[in-house]
């Protein structure tokens, strides 16, 4: 399948999905949304894929919604942004969160608007040294979307979340690590390789077990302790039924390196 607005390929168990509209800092138009959606369908259907790297081409990761697609002429009818959220952004965030494998976001430059929040839905966030994160919504009279008002307080606390969302100031990659927004900063020229290496390492692990870990952690704030203990029990039951669990225990007992197959 060929794409125009994204780059997509699979190598050594890892899918790479790179946003590819660099002239507008990989901002989302409808066509790119549709291709991203198509790529996620491929990922879900491809048994080889056991980890995903999401990144962007050029000097930006993503500048959110392509604002040139919005008619703001005073005489024009107001656009229904809720429809755009329902149709594209919310399904994307849910898809990333529910994907049963680790998703690494490699933030290769500026990440603004929805482009700053899509990484927060991923499981691990690596950033190039030059990356910056901007909750740009407040500058154009909008509300942080793509899960921004959900993820931010959980990651950085309410005080910092309000500061980021209400002021829309630029957060450097180093500061983003410092405040717990992202995981790691690496030099720009090695970002993609580092992300791919990490993804390949994850792709060689018990994929189903990692998917259950992801599910348990993603749901942790939805439950009280008792309900969450029950979820852990249910997921452990499922994990115990995987081939990789058998392999992990057998390899430990036989003092050898396990060969996990993601089954
Ligand atoms: O509408 C809905 O569906 C609702 C959902 C909304 C979700 C959202 O994401 S709303 C937020 C939208 N995004 C923004 O408000 C960010 C707008 N961009 C910026 O503030 C700045 O571009 C950046 C801070 C991201 C980067 O600044 P800088 O100085 O590094 O680059 P630049 O010169 O501003 O941008 C480079 C080019 O990309 C430029 O085009 P040009 O002049 O070279 O032809 C610029 O117009 C274009 N560009 C950047 N962001 C967008 C964009 N074009 C369209 N839409 C953009 N969002």
Which residues form the domain of 119?
Answer: 6-203
In a domain, 96, yes or no: yes
Residues ≥6 apart with Cβ < 8 Å to 200: 12, 13, 14, 51
Regarding the beta carbon of 123 and ligand 1, being less than 6 Å apart is answered no
**Cβ of 205 less than 6 Å from ligand 1:** no
Q: 63, 80, 134, 144: which to mutate for ligand 1, most atoms within 8 A of CB? A: 63
210, 102 in Cβ contact below 8 A? yes
Domain-embedded: residue 1: no
Residue 170 CA, ligand 1 centroid: distance in Å: 14
CATH code where residue 34 lies: 3.90.226.10
Average pLDDT over residues 56-69: 98
Q: Which two tokens stand for residue 96?
A: 């990333």
> 245 C-alpha to center of ligand 1: Å?
46
Residue 234 has pLDDT above 90, yes or no: yes
Q: Does the predicted TM-score (pTM) go above 0.85?
A: yes
182, 203, 224 - which closes a domain: 203
Query: pLDDT value at position 39?
Result: 98
Domains contained in the chain, number: 2
- Judge if 134 and 212 occupy the same domain: no
Q: Say yes or no: 149 and 100 in one domain.
A: yes
Residue range 132-142: mean pLDDT, rounded:
98
221 by Cβ neighbours in 10 Å (0-12 / 13-18 / 19+) ranks as exposed
Name the residue at shortest CA distance from atom 48 of ligand 1.
24
CB 16 within 8 A of CB 205: no
Whether 216 and 193 share a structural domain: no
State whether 114 and 48 are in the same domain.
yes
152 touches 161 (CB < 8 A): yes
- Do 162 and 55 lie in one domain? The reply is yes
Nearest CA to ligand 1 atom 20: 136
Whether 262 is covered by a domain: the verdict is no
Judge contact between 173 and 182, C-beta under 8 A: yes
Residue 78: which H helix or E strand, with range? none
């Amino acid at each position: 399948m060929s794409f125009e607005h994204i780059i997509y390929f699979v190598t050594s168990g890892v899918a790479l999905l790179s946003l590819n509209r660099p002239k507008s800092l990989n901002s989302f138009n409808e066509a790119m949304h549709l291709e991203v959606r198509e790529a996620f369908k491929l990922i879900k259907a491809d048994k080889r894929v056991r980890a995903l790297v999401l990144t962007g081409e050029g000097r930006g990761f993503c500048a959110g919604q392509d604002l040139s697609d919005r008619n703001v002429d005073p005489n024009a009818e107001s656009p229904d942004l809720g429809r755009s959220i329902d149709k594209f952004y919310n399904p994307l965030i849910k898809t990333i969160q529910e994907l049963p494998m680790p998703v690494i976001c490699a933030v290769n430059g500026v990440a603004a608007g929805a482009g700053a929040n899509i990484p927060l839905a991923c499981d691990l966030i690596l950033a190039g040294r030059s990356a910056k994160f901007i909750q740009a919504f407040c500058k154009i009279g909008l509300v942080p979307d793509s899960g921004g008002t959900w993820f931010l307080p959980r990651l950085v606390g309410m005080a910092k979340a309000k500061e980021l969302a209400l002021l829309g100031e630029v957060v450097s990659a180093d500061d983003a690590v410092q405040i717990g927004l992202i995981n790691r900063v690496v030099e720009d020229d090695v970002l993609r390789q580092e992300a791919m290496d990490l993804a390949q390492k994850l792709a060689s692990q018990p994929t189903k077990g990692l998917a259950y870990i992801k599910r348990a952690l993603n749901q942790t704030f939805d439950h009280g302790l008792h309900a969450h203990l029950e979820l852990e029990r249910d997921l452990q039951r499922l994990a115990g039924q995987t081939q990789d669990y058998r392999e992990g225990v057998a390899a430990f007992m036989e003092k050898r390196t396990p060969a996990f197959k993601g089954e």
